[in-house]
Amino acid sequence: MFRETPLRSSTENIGIARHREGLDLVRIGKPPRGEFAAWRYGDQFRSRYRLAALGGVGSLGFGLAIATLPIAFPTGLAMAGSWAWIAWSRLRPLAKVRVGGGGSDGGPVIPEDVAVFRLGALRSMRLLPDEDELGFLVEVKKGIRKAAFRGEDARRVAAALVPRLNREGGSRRSVQRAVKEIEAAGHPNRFLTEVASRASSSLGRMPVPVRLALEMSLHEEQERRSIEGELWILERAWREAEEIAAIADSLLLPANTDAFFDRHGDDR
């Protein structure tokens, strides 16, 4: 009855649900993964989903408004606006990540250690199996050139880019399917390595539930590390984020450029 009651609130070990007839139900103990994910990630993913839907409606309304104007006026304006939007969406930074082992000593961030990931890198990103402790690497490519990030770099890049893939969130059903994906693997880490072993296509081409499950698994892995006493990693990440934000974009190295692959590519 508790799981079937829609009006619920939970903490890590206590959950309360109010039945339609006014009965309060209390669950004590570790929640099942489905319930845990529903209250922790469901609202966030559905919020993105609703915002994306509103954005789509707004775009459609704008297009219809333009279509009602005289033909001679909007053609050039609409074309210019469309090309400007395409250029902006391709060139704007989606994530800035410290890579190349620059953060292993906890020293200050320098521009040479920060990669700027844009839409092209996001679309080409893949998880591939790796033999290190993490179990996967992150690959981005452009044409025949590739760059692979391993270990802590792979974790950083994946944690920064996967939420960008999920910018449109997901419906309640998609979140439920994402939970089942993780449950089928038995553990978030195992799910990550299983996705890497598929290696059939870029992450952007994978089903929405799989991408949502990836984000959930990466987040839970980060929290596991903090619980196990690795809080210094989170503290360093927060400090680095502030330092990276203070660096001008023009000083950073964009992914999918020749200089980027010269520095991080497999042929280096």
Separation in Å, CA 79 to CA 57, 58, 60, 67: 20, 18, 16, 13
Rounded CA separation 248/103 (Å): 19
Please provide the DSSP assignment of 94-138 as one string: -EEEE-TTTTTT-----GGGEEEE-HHHHHH-EEEE-SSTT-EEE
Digitized pLDDT (tens) for each residue of the chain, 268 residues in all:
434 444 344 445 545 554 455 555 555 555 555 555 555 676 777 777 677 667 655 555 555 555 555 554 455 555 566 656 555 555 666 788 888 765 555 677 777 788 888 888 888 889 999 988 889 999 988 778 888 899 888 988 999 999 998 988 888 888 889 988 988 998 888 999 999 988 667 888 899 999 999 998 888 777 666 555 555 666 677 777 777 777 777 767 777 677 777 777 765 4
Residue where the block lists tokens 């409606």: 57
Give the SS3 label for residue 151: helix
**If DSSP codes are grouped into helix, strand and coil, which group holds residue 251?**
helix
Q: What six digits make up the tokens of 265?
A: 């590519």
* CA dihedral sign of residues 246, 249, 251, 252: positive
- Whole-angstrom Cα distance, residue 238 to residue 181? 30
